[in-house]
């Protein structure tokens, strides 16, 4: 049976900013979804005190103020640890994790774990590679490269006929991402035919190709120093450099959830 008929787990973060190596977790959700019907079977949600002020721009998007996070949120160290254990638990069971623009959410979570001296996702898996990960953003961009319009989660939901329960709510975004993944597989048989492991490897290739193409596009437009990190599903701290066009999402939804203008009209 194809992976898009099997259970998946959606994962989403809302954060203090759009740079995953610097931003902090504010809210998070992990939503287990029944295979095929797209209905949630189990849901976990977190509100964290990020330990820093939440910028007004971020609060305006996800609705969480610094005051509320401090009063109602749990220490971000505890939240990051629990999120990591939850995701790793699903991977141990062989359940793929779906994240829209996975490089943002997983890189940010990894940075939080490192910041607080906690074991990485890979360490929790015995030193192995994380995954499988399914990233509808990366898949859609590869299989329908020349489609016009934005690549926000909301826009892609419209494209695939998925009802979105509320943008920039971590639980709603996580569930919508899973439903989009199912819908992409329904439309594109070549995606549905892959195993989760094969799809994970294919996304590594697709993301690297996109990053190289986008970097060349930016340089042709006059940004001679543009660097787009091509690692997926985690950015590499040693190579990640800010070019003013890095792939991110989260608090503002810019880039990862709104798409990045590039040669293919993303």
Domain assignment of residue 264, yes or no: no
Spell out the alpha helix ranges (H) of 144-252.
Answer: 153-159, 170-187, 189-192, 196-220
Domain assignment of residue 257, yes or no: no
| Residue 165, token pair as written in the block | 């329960």
Q: Which residues pair with 246 in a beta bridge?
A: none
- pLDDT beyond 60 at 259: no
Percent of the chain with pLDDT over 70: 88
155-175 CB burial, b ≥16 within 10 A, e <16: ebbebbebebeebbbbbbbbb
Domain assignment of residue 35, yes or no: yes
Give the distance between the most distant pair of CA atoms in the chain. 49
Using the structure block, give the residue that is written with the tokens 């950015």. 235
N-term to C-term CA, the chain: 32
| Other beta carbons less than 10 A from residue 207's beta carbon | 25
| Other beta carbons less than 10 A from residue 222's beta carbon | 7
Domain assignment of residue 139, yes or no: yes
Q: Which residues pair with 47 in a beta bridge?
A: 27
Using the structure block, give the residue that is written with the tokens 């439903």. 179
Domain assignment of residue 45, yes or no: yes
* Interval 151-195: pLDDT, tens: 999 999 999 999 988 778 999 999 999 999 999 999 999 999 999
Task: Please state, in angstroms and rounded to a whole number, the distance separating the CA atoms of residues 94 and 51.
Answer: 34
Domain assignment of residue 56, yes or no: yes
Q: Which residues pair with 98 in a beta bridge?
A: 10, 134
Mean pLDDT of 126-135: 94
What CATH number corresponds to the domain at position 55? Answer: 3.30.420.10
Cβ contacts of 149 within 8 Å, gap of 6 or more: 155, 159, 265
Q: Looking at residue 243, what is its pLDDT?
A: 35
Q: Are 233 and 133 in contact (CB under 8 A)?
A: yes
Task: Please state, in angstroms and rounded to a whole number, the distance separating the CA atoms of residues 201 and 188.
Answer: 17
Q: Looking at residue 65, what is its pLDDT?
A: 96
Q: Looking at residue 128, what is its pLDDT?
A: 82
Domain assignment of residue 74, yes or no: yes
Domain assignment of residue 165, yes or no: yes
Q: What is the pTM of this model?
A: 0.89
Pairing of strands 133-134, 74-75: unpaired
According to DSSP, residue 255 is labeled: B
* Interval 15-36: pLDDT, tens: 999 999 999 999 999 999 987 6
The burial of 194, by beta-carbon neighbours within 10 Å (0-12 exposed, 13-18 middle, 19 or more buried), is given as: middle
| Residue 58, token pair as written in the block | 């971020």
Q: Which residues pair with 15 in a beta bridge?
A: 25
Nearest to 184 by CA among 154, 208, 161: 161
Task: Please state, in angstroms and rounded to a whole number, the distance separating the CA atoms of residues 198 and 45.
Answer: 30
Structural domain that includes position 7: 3-220
Task: Please state, in angstroms and rounded to a whole number, the distance separating the CA atoms of residues 207 and 190.
Answer: 17
Mean pLDDT of 221-243: 78
Count of domains observed in the chain: 1
Mean pLDDT of 224-230: 93
């Amino acid at each position: 049976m194809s992976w898009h008929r099997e259970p998946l787990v959606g994962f989403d973060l809302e954060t203090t900013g759009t740079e995953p190596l610097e931003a902090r977790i504010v809210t998070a959700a992990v939503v287990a979804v029944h295979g095929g019907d797209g209905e949630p079977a189990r849901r976990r949600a977190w509100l964290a005190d990020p330990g820093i002020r939440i910028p007004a721009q971020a609060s305006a998007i996800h609705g969480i103020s610094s005051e509320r996070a401090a009063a109602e949120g749990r220490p971000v160290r505890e939240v990051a640890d629990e999120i990591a254990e939850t995701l790793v638990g699903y991977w141990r069971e062989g359940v793929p994790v779906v994240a829209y623009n996975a490089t943002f959410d997983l890189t940010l979570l990894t940075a939080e774990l490192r910041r607080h001296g906690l074991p990485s996702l890979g360490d929790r898996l015995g030193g192995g590679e994380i995954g499988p990960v399914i990233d509808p953003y990366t898949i859609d961009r590869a299989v329908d490269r020349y489609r016009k319009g934005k690549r926000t989660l909301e826009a892609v939901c419209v494209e695939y006929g998925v009802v979105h329960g509320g943008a920039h709510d971590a639980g709603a975004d996580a569930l919508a991402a899973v439903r989009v993944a199912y819908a992409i597989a329904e439309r594109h048989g070549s995606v549905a035919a892959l195993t989760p492991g094969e799809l994970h490897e294919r996304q590594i290739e697709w993301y690297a190709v996109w990053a190289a193409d986008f970097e060349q596009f930016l340089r042709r437009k006059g940004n001679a120093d543009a660097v787009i990190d091509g690692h997926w599903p985690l950015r590499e701290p040693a190579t990640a450099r800010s070019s003013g066009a890095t792939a991110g999402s989260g608090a503002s939804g810019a880039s990862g959830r709104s798409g990045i203008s590039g040669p293919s009209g993303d």
